[in-house]
Amino acid sequence: MQLTVRLAMVSTLAVALTLPLAAQPTRAGLMGDLMKDVADTQSKIVGLAKTMPETTYAWKPAPEVRSTGDVFLHVAADNYFIPAAMGIAPPAATGIDGKEYKSAVAFETRKMSRDQIIAELEQSFAFLQTSMAAASDASLDATIEAFGQKTTGRAMWLSTTTHLHEHLGQLIAYARTNGVKPPWSQ
């Protein structure tokens, strides 16, 4: 009996010690916090992409705005473009050049199926997370030029997370308007 209790305690302790480690960002400080936030936002955006039926991907609330599928592709494009604007080379297959936003626009206006869009979203978030993990703390203070103005690495990474939240809110509205309940609020 004592052996069973000890094994149960050791097993419980092992699980308790590993769960918090898996849930924490791999890095401390501002970048660790941003990476954790991006991971949470990623799970919601990708979750919505997988939950929404293909018929909703062409839906748009007005003729002059992006469709649901367009918003997902815009998120993917900027997940590649923003690190590229900071000098981190995106995958060549994207065709995105960090010095030329038109390349991101060309990427996001490609015609893709729902499954292709989901795959591209997942790949773009993997690139974004890898780029964030590789950014040194010193690079946060570095002055860079992006979008025709001087800024810092910190400001660019903050803009990245702000951008993701902007489109998460947009996609939640699109989903609910189409009768789709976000998977995390089920």
Q: How many CB atoms lie within 10 A of CB 151?
A: 17
Rounded alpha-carbon distances, angstroms, from residue 30 to 18, 42, 128: 23, 18, 16
**pLDDT tens digits along 36-77:** 999 999 999 999 999 999 999 999 999 999 999 999 999 999
The radius of gyration of the chain from alpha carbons, rounded to an integer in Å, stands at 20
**137-168 confidence digits (pLDDT tens):** 889 999 988 888 899 999 999 999 999 999 99
Q: Which domains does the chain have, with CATH numbers?
A: 27-185 (1.20.120.450)
Contact, 54 vs 114, CB < 8 A? yes
First to last CA, the chain: 41
- C-alpha 124/C-alpha 129 separation (Å) is 9
Which of 15, 34, 44, 28 lies closest to 172 in space, CA to CA? 44
Q: Which two tokens stand for residue 75?
A: 């998120």
pLDDT value at position 27? 77
Length of the chain: 186
Q: State whether residue 106 is helix, strand or coil.
A: helix
pTM of the model as a whole: 0.84
Answer for the pair 53, 175: CB distance below 8 angstroms, yes or no: no
Q: Is the pLDDT of residue 19 over 80?
A: no
Half-sphere exposure of 87 (CA within 13 A, CB side): 9
Q: Which of 69, 93, 167, 78 is nearest to 131 (CA)?
A: 78
Contact at 8 Å (CB) between 39 and 129? yes
CA dist 133 to 8, 35, 106, 151, Å? 37, 8, 27, 20
H helix or E strand, kind and range, residue 145? strand 143-146
Of 1-5, 161-165, 182-186, which one has max mean pLDDT? 161-165
